[in-house]
A and B are shown apart, each in its own frame.
Chain A
Amino acid sequence: MSPDALPKLGKGVKLRNDRDGSVMLLVPEGALVLNRSAAAALALVDGRRSLENIIEAVVELFDVTPERAASDLHELFERLEQRGFVIDDRS
């Protein structure tokens, strides 16, 4: 997924704040438990903000190495796009 992509959640994909404080991505017949930065990034996904913009915002939120966090998040969005859980709203 390119940095200027406008990610949004695919059909039937939902974020859920669980009662134990964790965040899950609910998908058809399954659930993925998200780490803190993935949860923060997916909370910003709305089909209007660019992927680059989302990643910048998340990197600022957490005390992490920017390069490392950015590459982790790029990889996450790549995997989610492969499975249709996140789609690029430009396409």
Chain B
Amino acid sequence: MTVRRPLSLLCELTYRCNLQCPYCYNPLALRDYRDELATEDWRSVLEQAAALGVVQTQFSGGEPTLRRDLATLIGAASRFGLYTNLISQGTFLDDALLDELIASGLDHIQISIQAPEAELADRIAGAAVHARKLDALQRVLERDVALTLNCVLHRHNHDAIADVIALAERLGVRRLELANTQFYGWAYRNLAALMPTRAQVECGEAVVAAARERLRGRMEIVYVLPDYFGEFPKPCMNGWGGQFITVTPNGDVLPCPAAAAIKTLRFENVRNSALDAIWNDSDSFGRYRGTGWMPEPCRSCERREIDWGGCRCQAYLLTGNAGATDPACSLSPDHPTLVQRRENAHSTELVFRRA
């Protein structure tokens, strides 16, 4: 099959973070990623990605502002013609750092909050940081850089969606992302304590629909659907090896940010291989690219090039087989497994992220 060019590069600069959010999608084995790529390695990754045709790059983590070379890397990406996004929780975004990042060419910042008010937000983050985040949001809004306010949704804050929207409105935020928890890494570990109820999901959707109508032309609300409540799976990464490349802090190259969980694949590393060869010729990127790998019911499904069989990582986590139909699909023979996980999610014990 012909391989299209990648369009988007996610640079997970570090998995270090001063917060402990139990919904984090980072892997449980955070200690395995302490041997971080050097500035020169990342610069080379960015240059190779631009040459491959990538146009968008996200600097994320962990908390990417913990890397002292962040401005240098944003500057490099910018010079290579890449659009630069910073995905941050905002606790280190003071005036000096913000000015340095923007002067280096930063185009867009996404800052996440855990809840609309401090008590709940700080409890979820595992640290008293909500007030600092609000200060950072204010500082970003005053500057010449685009902003998205993000809030990850789960059982403990799903009832507060209207308040998150009201906060965004009060601040004058133009773009709000309300993202239902994706169950990978620490979030998967905490699935039974984070899964929202069906009533919460239905209520949340109504609140979002009404707010979109009311705020049309003033605020864009991006709503990331809850995987475990839909009829069909998400088109994860728009297809494995279709558009997206993730590079982890130690240089592993993944077709999906959650793919490290898949133990039946061996991933290449930028320390040993060229990005071009990894994208075009590696087994890990080729294995589930396109539709040729699909089992039934995907193979003959009319949606096979709409959702691309869903998420390989989710299939692996729930069935042990990364080549199975995503159990989030109601047509999957493994769908009952997912329904059972959803319906039995009654735990109250949250395991906070830690190295």
Interface residues of A (CB under 8 A from B): 10-14, 16, 18-19, 24, 26-31, 81-84
Is B146 a contact of A13 with CB atoms below 8 Å?
A: yes
* Chain B residues, CB < 8 A from A10: 146, 174
Between A and B, 23 residue pairs with Cβ closer than 8 Å are: A10-B146, A12-B107, A12-B108, A13-B146, A14-B107, A16-B81, A16-B83, A19-B53, A24-B55, A26-B55, A26-B107, A28-B85, A28-B107, A28-B110, A28-B148, A28-B175, A29-B108, A30-B56, A31-B7, A31-B55, A82-B217, A83-B220, A84-B220
* Chain B residues, CB < 8 A from A24: 55
Give how many A-B residue pairs fall within 8 Å (CB-CB): 50
* Chain A residues, CB < 8 A from B83: 14, 16, 26, 31
A35 to B240, CA, bound (A): 28
Is B216 a contact of A29 with CB atoms below 8 Å?
A: no
Mark each residue of chain B from 133 to 165: 1 if its CB lies under 8 Å from any CB of chain A, else 0. Answer: 000000000001111100000000000000000
Is A82 a contact of B146 with CB atoms below 8 Å?
A: no
Chain A: which residue is nearest B174 at the CB level? A84
A27 to B108, CA, bound (A): 8
For the complex of A and B, 10 pairs with smallest distance between CB atoms = A12-B146, A28-B108, A26-B83, A11-B146, A12-B108, A12-B107, A84-B174, A28-B146, A82-B217, A31-B55
* Chain B residues, CB < 8 A from A31: 7, 55-56, 83
* Chain B residues, CB < 8 A from A18: 55
A1 to B81, CA, bound (A): 30
Is B146 a contact of A16 with CB atoms below 8 Å?
A: no
Q: Does B284 contact A (CB under 8 A)?
A: no
Given A14-B83, A84-B220: A29 touches B148 (CB 8 Å cut-off): yes
Interface residues of B (CB under 8 A from A): 7, 53, 55-56, 58, 81, 83, 85, 107-108, 110, 144-148, 174-175, 216-217, 220
A14 to B56, CA, bound (A): 12
A19 to B7, CA, bound (A): 13
Is B58 a contact of A29 with CB atoms below 8 Å?
A: yes
Chain B: which residue is nearest A12 at the CB level? B146
How near does chain B come to A6, taking the closest CB pair, in angstroms? 18
Give 13 A-B pairs besides A16-B55, A28-B146, A29-B148 with Cβ atoms closer than 8 angstroms: A12-B108, A14-B83, A28-B175, A29-B56, A29-B58, A29-B85, A31-B55, A31-B56, A31-B83, A81-B217, A82-B217, A84-B174, A84-B220
A70 to B279, CA, bound (A): 42
A81 to B217, CA, bound (A): 7
A12 to B102, CA, bound (A): 11
A31 to B238, CA, bound (A): 14
A18 to B96, CA, bound (A): 33
Is A11 a contact of B56 with CB atoms below 8 Å?
A: no
How near does chain B come to A87, taking the closest CB pair, in angstroms? 10
Is A84 a contact of B107 with CB atoms below 8 Å?
A: no
Chain A: which residue is nearest B146 at the CB level? A12
A81 to B174, CA, bound (A): 12
* Chain A residues, CB < 8 A from B148: 28-29
A24 to B174, CA, bound (A): 21
How near does chain A come to B142, taking the closest CB pair, in angstroms? 11
How near does chain B come to A72, taking the closest CB pair, in angstroms? 20
* Chain A residues, CB < 8 A from B108: 12, 28-29
A30 to B110, CA, bound (A): 13
Is A84 a contact of B55 with CB atoms below 8 Å?
A: no
Is A12 a contact of B217 with CB atoms below 8 Å?
A: no
A31 to B81, CA, bound (A): 14
* Chain A residues, CB < 8 A from B217: 81-82
A18 to B145, CA, bound (A): 23
* Chain A residues, CB < 8 A from B53: 19
How near does chain A come to B137, taking the closest CB pair, in angstroms? 14
* Chain B residues, CB < 8 A from A26: 55-56, 83, 107
How near does chain A come to B311, taking the closest CB pair, in angstroms? 19
* Chain A residues, CB < 8 A from B85: 28-29
A27 to B107, CA, bound (A): 9
* Chain B residues, CB < 8 A from A30: 56
